[in-house]
Amino acid sequence: MFCIFISIASSQTAISQTKQKPGDWESLKLTYTEPTDLNNFGAALPIGNGRLGAKIYGNVSQELLNLNEVTLWSGGPVNKTNPEGPKILAQVRQALAAKLYKKADSLVRFMEVKNSACYEPLGNIKLDFDNSVTYTNYSRELDMDRAMITVKYKIGSVNYTREVFASYPDQVIIIRVYGDTKSAVNFSAGMDSPLKGKVLVDGNTIVVNGYAPAFDAPKAGSAIWEDNKGMRFESRLNIKTMGGKVTGKGDGLSIANADTAILILSSATSFNGFDKDPVTQGKDYKALVKSYIAKAAAKSYQQLADAHVKDHRALFRRLWVDINAEKPNKNVLAYQYARYELIACSRPGGGAPRNEQGIWNKDVSPHYSSNYTLNENPEKFYSIAEPANIGETTEPLIKYIGDLAVHGAVTAKVDYGFHGWVTHHNSDVWAMTEMALGDPCWADWPTGGFWLTQTVYERYAFSLDKNYLRTTAYPIMKGAAEFALDLMVTNKDGYLVTSPSTSPENHFFDEKGNRVAVSEGSTMDMTFIRELFQHCIQESEVLGIDTGFRAKLKNSLPKLLPYKIGTQGQLNEFSFDFTDGIKEWEPNHRHVSHLVSVWPLSQINKNTPELLAAAHKSLALRKSGGYHPDKAGMWARLLDGDKCLAALALNFPSLYDSPSGGFAEMLLQSHTGDIDILPALPKAWSSGKILGIRARGNYEVDIEWTDHQLKKAVIRSYSGNTPVVTVLGKKVNYKTDPRISFVNVK
């Protein structure tokens, strides 16, 4: 059995020393003058504490909160392995060696199994307010610095306020409703859930007990329910008032003539780990939620709010950024929103990482199952964490990767006959690692674990925590490398190539005009393996272990299929050029998988100028496509700040918009070993500053520039290292450069 001891907490030693940065934090707000349409779930404002999440619409007459708990999924642990896999794999490899791509495409489907489980909605809070048809002075605001949503409006002579936040310290969601006139608060409160269960009233608390489907798929009406299967959950909404009266009203509560009402919501599920049956081996979720509510209800609103704001700011205020003295710059607002959202989605101890939709979902059978689509989403959304000085948010993902490694070792052995561990494109809270059912262009992707190890490695690269490296990072990465060695075959030219291989989610036309996806040695695959082997070699040297395995990796590295530059000067996506009858399928395909070699990985960089130019050509040829995983991050690494700026996402809040991956990369890069200051500064950003950005090697950096020139920089080293520094593309001696201050914090 593949075993990993997850120990991440110690990696926070250096980061916890970082201080809150000065800045105009009041400017980081999303403000609106009308409620969100109840049919526009994506635009509703989100809150979350990494475990509990809610979407708030801000309607006056009926406030709606869609609720979620990050571990509430359909299904349970299930063995989906395919013992026929090794035999089918051998046939697929034979077909690929003969360039029978259509046959390989057909054969590989027999390695596929059932699809993943679905992330499920917890339910809803509905608050119906009296005498609220006519209102004025409406405002709705998400304050990122306080992680709080405030709705204000006036009815008659009374000014009403609602405040909502999700507390990490107290594990509850808090709603406060009050007016500026005594006895003015009147409303009824109810809860429901689209899952199976019941609602009851227990004193001044509404209780929802329920369970998730035994099986679900991303298609309306596909849920299958069984009484003795499915995740169990309980939600409790406790209401207390200052003044007035709380009474039962059917399966809800009525609040009459109160000065203030405070609603405390918490929930818990029976999820007890990816390999535990949620019914027979589940947690005592009812005791958990009662404990959360009891502890929070014993505190005043101010105590709850103060603890919440203090906790959130300890993370959020580690980084301040200002562009052109705009209050705020639109790209700054988007970047800080991406930081806010990741904090809301992913906190240590939450139980599961950020999924397809963050932690927000209202549908029983959600789009794409709201699962983990591993060929871009977790890697894309978590890539901002370390530079943005919120590295702790990666811990739920790293723990989850450890679960995948354990389950994936079984899949590797049974489905492939290989060593190490594997995971494919789709997964869920049950750590599914088998090949899902679907088009091979995405389903046949046994390299998911390789890309996920990048997050595992980056946690070490930014923190230099050797204990974490020894107990967590290296075992996970070694297992992925062992599978990589077995996944490769020697091609006709003597190079090691992955077989089978795809480039998500692209196709090509074979010599007979068939649209196919499966081949050997895609550029994405070979990038993953090259970087993974290099990291494992480096890590084993740091730890002084595994000399034999290290030698095997060193021996394999020069045999890996090299990058190829095509006839248009582009970096090839597949192991062949589009000549001799093999044709490109979709020139502006939405995925640009081969350029992960530029970002978020670092195989192609300023030290490989010929390949960097080829990558630049490839991204230009994609034109309007190539937005998966994040074109902005790639343009920044290609040192084209203007194109990066143009590609940055600005449509937020939204379920599927990309985060601002390229934002920090324009201002600081450290993937080549240098602290590279202002490497891709766009022309439009003539002045600005960023305080608290992180660099690999356990550095924190402050940068200020004017008229496109560095004004000053402060580099803080938390591990006692001394850096190589580059400014605007030129190496400098930081010891003699008057613009740069170096501080050894250790």
Q: What is the full DSSP assignment across 147-166?
A: TEEEEEEEETTEEEEEEEEE
Question: Six-digit token pair at 686?
Answer: 């003539």
Judge whether 67 and 127 are in contact, CB under 8 Å: no
Asked if 424 and 434 touch (Cβ cutoff 8 Å), the reply is yes
Query: Are the C-beta atoms of 252 and 207 separated by less than 8 Å?
Result: no
Structure tokens at 345: 């989605």
- Number of Cβ within 10 Å of residue 148's Cβ equals 20
Grouping H, G, I as helix, E, B as strand and the rest as coil, residue 100 is: coil
CB 325 within 8 A of CB 332: no
d(CA 427, CA 117): 8
- Rounded CA-CA distance 245/266 in Å is 22
What pLDDT is attached to residue 247? Answer: 97
Q: Position 22: which residue type?
A: P
pLDDT given for residue 81 in this prediction = 95
Whether 21 and 319 have beta carbons less than 8 Å apart is answered as yes
| pLDDT value at residue 655 | 65
Give the whole-angstrom CA distance, residue 78 versus residue 347.
27
- Confirm if 80 and 413 have CB atoms less than 8 A apart: no
**CA–CA gap between residue 399 and residue 9 (Å, rounded):** 11
Smallest CA-to-CA distance from 393 within 352, 429, 332 is with: 352
Classify strands 709-717 and 740-744 as parallel, antiparallel or unpaired. parallel
Q: Please check whether residue 278 is in contact with residue 190, taking contact to mean a CB–CB distance below 8 angstroms.
A: no
Q: What single letter denotes the amino acid at residue 482?
A: E
Helix locations, 317-415, DSSP H: 330-345, 377-382, 395-411
Q: Which of 471, 617, 606, 622 is nearest to 545 (CA)?
A: 471
Return the residue matching tokens 């990985």: 601
Question: In the chain, what is the greatest distance between 2 CA atoms, to the nearest angstrom?
Answer: 84
Tell the residue number behind the tokens 């090794």, with chain if given.
86
Consecutive 10-residue runs of the chain (746 residues): their mean pLDDT?
46 58 96 94 96 97 97 95 97 97 98 95 96 89 98 96 98 98 97 97 97 90 92 98 95 97 98 98 98 98 98 98 95 95 97 96 94 95 96 98 98 98 97 96 97 98 98 98 98 97 97 96 98 98 98 98 96 91 94 97 96 98 93 96 93 74 96 97 98 98 98 97 96 97 93
Instruction: For residue 68, give the H/E element and its range.
Output: strand 62-69
Residue 273 sits at φ, ψ, to 5 deg, of: 125, 155
Secondary structure letter of residue 500 according to DSSP: S
Q: Is 576 helix (H, G, I), strand (E, B) or coil?
A: coil
What's the pLDDT score for residue 689? 98
CA distance 299 to 675: 46
Question: What element of type H or E holds 302?
Answer: helix 301-316
CA distances from 532 to 6, 463, 543, 645 (A): 20, 18, 16, 30
Alpha-carbon distances, residue 120 vs 69, 371, 704 (angstroms): 8, 10, 45
pTM value > 0.95 = yes
**Residue among 113, 210, 144 nearest 343 (CA):** 144
Other CB atoms within 10 A of residue 37 CB: 11
Q: Which residues contact 551 (CB under 8 A, 6 or more apart)?
A: none
At 541, is the secondary structure helix, strand, or coil? helix
pLDDT, position 17:
59
Are the C-beta atoms of 459 and 128 separated by less than 8 Å? Answer: no
Q: For residue 260, which of 235, 239, 281 has the smallest C-alpha distance? A: 239
| HSE, side-chain direction, 13 A CA sphere, residue 482 | 22
Q: Give residue 358's identity as a one-letter amino acid code.
A: G
Q: Please check whether residue 600 is in contact with residue 661, taking contact to mean a CB–CB distance below 8 angstroms.
A: yes
Name the H helices within 65-155. Answer: 85-97, 101-108
Nearest CA to 424 out of 87, 99, 438 is that of 438
